[in-house]
Structure 1
Amino acid sequence: MKALNMNTCWNKAHFFAQAVVETGLTLHVKGGESFNWYYQSLIDTFGMFKTEEGRKKAKLWGRAISDFYCLCF
């Protein structure tokens, strides 16, 4: 928490409130979040990837192919 400057009640409350806004009330921490996204889906879904720099990062961080499961023979 210190490394992220989450050292006050206000910062912690804001973090968890933002998590509720982004995920709704159905956040399942134990089930985890899948970060396995096709790069174009990142661009289409999240505003931060709509900028020029964001599109570059989406291509860097996202999958290159849209149908991941087609590679599982």
Structure 2
Amino acid sequence: MFASLSSRVAALGVTVVIAVAALAGLLVDAARQTRDSFLWVEHSAIVLEITSEAVADLRDAESGQRGFVLT
């Protein structure tokens, strides 16, 4: 297929460059997906914190109402 050594080396070099470029693209995509996942985790944590605060406030209100009704 390739007659000379220099053409073989050039073909191998091109193949290596293409493989490295493909791996770099996959790495960039994986980094983007990881960042997006971290953003969703942060959002979920904020939602859980707000929900917990709302439930705690509701429990305080129910307790206050119970105390008022008993007196």
Q: Assess same fold via TM > 0.5.
A: no
More helix by share: 2
Q: TM-score, normalised by structure 2?
A: 0.24
Q: TM-score, normalised by structure 1?
A: 0.23
Larger radius of gyration: 2
